């Protein structure tokens, strides 16, 4: 897959099948659209193109102070689109001036005249342009004018309800990482670097890797103890991740993310790791003593041993 950070970096080719969107999460509904783009592009012996935006449009057009909770970073979206077989991944900088473009100006300038296209694939709820004026209906009218086809993908549902990024955010904010995984089509992940902590976990008999996230915009699931799979380079391990404010000790109120990797004793300070969330085991509690916390951690480890068998086949 090729990456273009500006429209001018992708050669003009009218035989392009395009989809446009933020695609935060690249969840099952997004995947349905992207897979259709790949299939239809190959049928036409053309190229498949995903056009996306950075930063997330809500950061630009929402009220000041609105904090974004991303399901996927730009790099993660790029990697997932590549796995789905996309030929070109095009990133458009979304700023205030760009947000004021009309639906028609965007399509005519950037897609029809910039990238070139003969087919566009969009979801049933597609809206684009200033004040979200562009709809599937207006896109079809534009297609008649400029001689390109439009494919409208019907909603992709789970349990009878349409899948969207907001639903997944709500599940993660409730700690329901298994339900989020069903909608994403894979476990939810956080990526970061292992940094020095206060080494309290080692004193408790459960050494932890303290994680500094790659992106502060990524949504962090609700506080609690999670059963996870940890990618350290090419190696994969099970572990217990703690998200919270460490209430048993003198808490600063700052949320931390730390992972106890099971059956692991290597020094990985400075390493980049990925945490794959498999199940929430319990909420975060304040214990009356360190001894009580240690006893609970023993129980957490026992549960983790059981869960390893349940999740042994997960990649």
pLDDT score for 120: 97
pLDDT of 129 > 80? The answer is no
Please state, rounded to an integer, the average pLDDT across all residues of the chain.
91
Where does 88-146 have alpha helices with state H? 96-99, 103-106, 136-146
Q: What tokens appear for 132 in the block?
A: 């979200």
Question: Which two structure tokens, joined as six digits, stand for 42?
Answer: 């190959």
Looking at residue 279, its pLDDT comes to 98
Does pLDDT of 4 surpass 70?
yes
Q: What is the mean pLDDT of residues 300-312?
A: 94
- Provide the pLDDT for residue 63: 66
Residue 110 and residue 97: Cα distance in Å, rounded? 14
Give the tens place of pLDDT for each residue, 178-211: 999 999 999 999 999 999 876 665 656 688 999 9
pLDDT (average), residues 251-277: 91
Model confidence at 275, pLDDT cuts 50, 70, 90, reads: very high
For residues 26-42, average pLDDT: 97
Q: Does 189-310 match 2-162 at the fold level? A: no
pLDDT of residue 131: 66
User: Which CATH superfamily, name and number, covers 2-162?
Assistant: HUPs (3.40.50.620)
**Gap between the Cα atoms of 235 and 254, Å rounded:** 30
Q: In Å, what is the CA distance from 201 to each residue of 11, 72, 219, 246?
A: 54, 29, 25, 11
Kindly list the domain boundaries of the chain, sorted by start residue.
2-162, 189-310
pLDDT band at 305 (very low <50, low <70, confident <90, very high): very high
- Tell me which long-range contacts 286-293 makes (C-beta under 8 A, separation of at least 24): 286/247, 286/248, 287/248, 289/248, 290/204, 290/248, 293/204, 293/248
Report whether 180 contacts 54 (CB < 8 A). no
Task: Tell me how far apart the alpha carbons of residues 142 and 161 are, in angstroms, rounded to a whole number.
Answer: 30
Min mean pLDDT across 51-55, 197-201, 254-258, 281-285 is at 197-201
- pLDDT of 250 > 70? The answer is no
Class (C level, CATH) for 189-310: mainly beta
pLDDT surpassing 80 at residue 300: yes
Share of the chain above pLDDT 70, in %: 94
Name the pLDDT band for 42 (thresholds 50, 70, 90).
very high
- Top pLDDT among 154 and 26 is at 26
The whole-number pLDDT of residue 202 equals 62
pLDDT at residue 164 is higher than 80: yes
Beta carbons within 8 Å of 175's beta carbon, 6+ residues apart: 221, 222, 223, 224, 226, 280, 283
**Percent residues over pLDDT 90 in the chain:** 73
Say if residues 48 and 35 touch (Cβ distance below 8 Å).
no
pLDDT surpasses 90 at 62: no
Between 288 and 235, the more confident residue is 235
Q: What is the pLDDT of residue 278?
A: 98
Give yes or no for residue 103 having a pLDDT over 60. yes
């Amino acid at each position: 897959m090729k990456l273009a950070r500006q429209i001018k970096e992708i050669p003009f080719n009218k035989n392009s099948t395009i989809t446009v969107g933020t695609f935060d999460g690249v969840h099952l509904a997004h995947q349905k659209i992207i897979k259709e783009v790949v299939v239809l592009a190959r049928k036409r012996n053309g190229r498949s193109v995903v056009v996306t935006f950075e930063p997330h449009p809500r950061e630009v057009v929402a009220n000041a102070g609105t904090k974004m909770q991303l399901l996927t970073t730009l790099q993660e979206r790029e990697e997932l689109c590549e796995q789905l077989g996309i030929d070109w991944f095009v990133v458009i900088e979304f700023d205030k001036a760009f947000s004021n473009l009309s639906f028609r100006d965007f399509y005519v300038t950037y897609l029809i005249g910039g990238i070139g296209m003969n087919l566009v694939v969009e979801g049933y709820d597609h809206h684009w342009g200033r004040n979200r004026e562009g709809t599937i209906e207006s896109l079809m009218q534009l297609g008649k004018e400029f001689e390109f086809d439009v494919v409208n993908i019907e909603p992709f549902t789970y349990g009878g309800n349409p899948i969207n990024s907001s639903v997944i955010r709500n599940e993660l904010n409730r700690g329901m990482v298994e339900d989020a995984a069903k909608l994403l089509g894979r476990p939810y992940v956080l990526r970061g670097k292992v940094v020095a902590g206060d080494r309290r976990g080692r004193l408790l008999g459960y050494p932890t890797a303290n994680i500094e996230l790659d992106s502060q915009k990524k949504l962090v699931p609700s506080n609690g103890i999670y059963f996870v799979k940890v990618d350290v380079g090419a190696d994969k391990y099970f572990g217990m991740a703690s998200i919270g404010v460490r209430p048993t000790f003198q808490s600063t109120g700052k949320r931390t993310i730390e992972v106890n990797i099971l059956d692991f004793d290597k020094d990985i300070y400075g390493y980049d790791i990925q945490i794959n969330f498999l199940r929430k085991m319990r909420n975060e509690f304040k214990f009356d003593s360190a001894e009580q916390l240690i006893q609970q951690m023993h129980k957490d480890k026992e549960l983790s041993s059981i869960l390893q068998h349940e999740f042994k086949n997960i990649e």
